[in-house]
Chains A and B, each alone.
Chain A
Amino acid sequence: MIKVKNLTKMYDKGKTVALNDVNLDIEDGEFVSIMGTSGSGKSTLLNMIGGLDVPDAGIVEVMGEDLSKINLSRYRRETVGFIFQLHNLIPNLTCLENVELPLFGSVKSFDMKNRALDLLEAVGLNSLANKYPNKLSGGQMQRVAVARALVNDPKVVLADEPTGQLDSENSELIMDLMQEKQEETNTTLCVVTHDFEIAKKAEKIIKIKDGQIESV
């Protein structure tokens, strides 16, 4: 499903090596945790897999396609769902509109609304569909972000410390929700975290240190 070959990424004109010759295989429908200390390169790896950034060397292949040879906007729209540490919802759009955003341009208006409402129902927030993000709690906002990430039926869901800003109760809720959806739809789920309690829910834990994979 996801193949990473000799991936290298540097910043500051080569002074900082974020990823150094990383090789990785993630199977279809697998739930993987990526752990590491701050600055170890785990978010950079996730960004490379998600097509948010391009490597300096090496290849990222998703479903057999080399990301350097495809349209990344289309890939992000059709294949990937992102969940960030901060919910990153658009503050002047309602929850429903926020969830509809990834479908814009690829699905008809009526279907967009129905699919977004279905997802909001799945995360237990259909009653708050027309509320603005500032009226929601941190946990609720992150659940909307989960709904937004899943609305386009992605093959891969990438979550960068999705529970980083949440209390333990909400963290548990969000992780259970993501895991439930992953099992239901058989999507590949990659979660970056430095919380071992969350990481151990995954089938595979990848530890990164100084831009290199320490253990799998």
Chain B
Amino acid sequence: MGLLFFSFALKNIFRNKWRSTFIIILLVIGIFALLFSEASSEISGNLLDNVINESMMNSSFGVNDNLSSLIRNQSLSNSDVNSIDAGVLANESSSLDSINMSNIDEYRKEMTKGVKMFFFYLNLFFVFIGSIIIMVAMLKAVGERTREIGVLKSIGWTNLRVSGLILLESLFQLFMAWFVVTVLLLIFYMTNGHTINETFVNTLHMNISIVYRIFAVTFLTSLFIPIIGVILPLLRVFRIKPDEAMRY
């Protein structure tokens, strides 16, 4: 049962090879854009953390150094200054330090949130463009196959089943695009693996789980492209009446 359905959807893709190839190429570009956006979001978040952490470390070290030198100087120059004075000074400076820390932490959160939001909207934009491409292609396909959809309905296929076929077809196109992306990335990794490892692991301190997360998030995001893209074509499928389609 499922086999016929899958083979029907696959055969529909290869029916108009040029159009399918064009769509798959556009989807490949779209997936790369999504991957780039998602990776940029992760990397920039990571970079931001690193930069802020480093600056925090420097500033806190600076404060501690000044304090200790101040205490040291006080102890040396005035032997009457007791340990309570030093304790008071240390307490004051540590409360100042914690205020700075919480401010920086808030700032870091705000910055990270802003960067993430920017890339989230960029992803939305790519999904929107991809959905438009799929929508135009599937509307054309539904238009060309009006008679066939009428035949399918006349032999008892429900609207839901015909819609499933159209959705599966666009999902297949997405999977094919993902296959192309994976192959291209593997080729790129095989030729530039050392540089990539150097950049991601050593410089940006990113581990492999982050790379997996980037792919997983991009894959899930890209699934929205065919799902949103087929909404309008499916509405057209629902409106096709079998008797009218036969005269098409």
Answer yes or no: B98 CB below 8 A from chain A CBs. Answer: no
> A50-89 interface mask toward B, CB cutoff 8 Å, 1 = contact, 0 = none?
1011000000000000000000011111100010100010
Question: A14: CB under 8 A from chain B?
Answer: no
Q: How many A-B contacts if CB must be within 8 Å?
A: 71
Q: Is the CB of A76 within 8 A of B154?
A: yes
Q: Which of A73, A102, A107, A148 has the most CB of B within 10 A?
A: A73
Complex contact A88–B4 (CB within 8 A): no
Residues of B within 8 A of A109 (CB): 1-4
| Residues in A whose Cβ lies below 8 Å from that of B3 | 109
Write out the residue numbers on chain B whose beta carbons fall within 8 Å of the beta carbon of A107: 1
The answer to whether B4 touches A82, judged by C-beta atoms less than 8 angstroms apart, is no
Is the beta-carbon distance between B155 and A76 smaller than 8 angstroms?
yes
Please report the C-alpha to C-alpha distance between residue A76 and residue B243 in the assembled complex, in whole angstroms.
13
Let me know if B246 and A88 touch, CB within 8 A: yes
- Taking chain B's interface residues, is the majority helix, strand, or loop, or is none over half, making it mixed? helix
Determine whether the beta carbon of B11 is less than 8 Å from that of A73: no
With A53-B243, A108-B1, A109-B4 known as contacts, the answer to whether A102 contacts B11 (CB < 8 A) is no
* Measured CA separation A93–B2 after assembly (Å): 15
Q: How many residues of B contact A (CB 8 A)?
A: 27
Query: B15 near A105 (CB under 8 angstroms)?
Result: no
CB contact list, B147-195 vs A, under 8 A:
147-148, 151-159, 161
Tell me whether B4 and A112 are in contact (CB under 8 A).
yes
Which B210-248 residues have a C-beta within 8 angstroms of A?
A: 241-243, 246
Say yes or no: is A23 at the interface (Cβ < 8 Å to chain B): no
A104 in contact with B5 (CB, 8 Å): yes
Minimum CB distance partner of A73 in chain B: B158
How many residues belonging to A are interface residues under a CB distance threshold of 8 Å?
28
Residue in A53, A82, A92, A112 whose beta carbon sits within 8 Å of that of B155 in the complex = A82
Whether, in the assembled complex, B12 has its beta carbon less than 8 Å from a beta carbon of chain A, the answer is yes
Asked if B155 and A100 make an inter-chain contact with CB atoms under 8 angstroms apart, the answer reads no
In this assembly, does B7 line the interface, its C-beta being within 8 Å of a C-beta of chain A? yes
| Candidates B2, B148, B155; contact of A77 at CB < 8 Å | B155
Cβ of B8 and Cβ of A97 under 8 Å apart? yes
Kindly name the residue among B1, B158, B159 whose own CB sees the greatest number of chain A CB atoms within 10 A.
Answer: B1
Q: Shortest beta-carbon distance, A158 to chain B, in Å?
A: 10
A sample of 26 cross-chain residue pairs with beta-carbon separation below 8 angstroms, ordered by A number, consists of A47-B243, A52-B241, A73-B153, A73-B158, A73-B159, A82-B154, A88-B147, A90-B148, A90-B151, A90-B152, A92-B12, A100-B4, A101-B4, A101-B152, A101-B155, A102-B155, A104-B4, A104-B5, A104-B157, A104-B161, A105-B1, A105-B161, A109-B1, A109-B2, A148-B155, A152-B156
- Which residues from chain A sit less than 8 Å from chain B, CB to CB? 47, 50, 52-53, 73-78, 82, 84, 88, 90, 92-93, 97, 100-102, 104-105, 107-109, 112, 148, 152
Binding site for A on B (CB under 8 A): 1-5, 7-8, 11-12, 14-15, 147-148, 151-159, 161, 241-243, 246
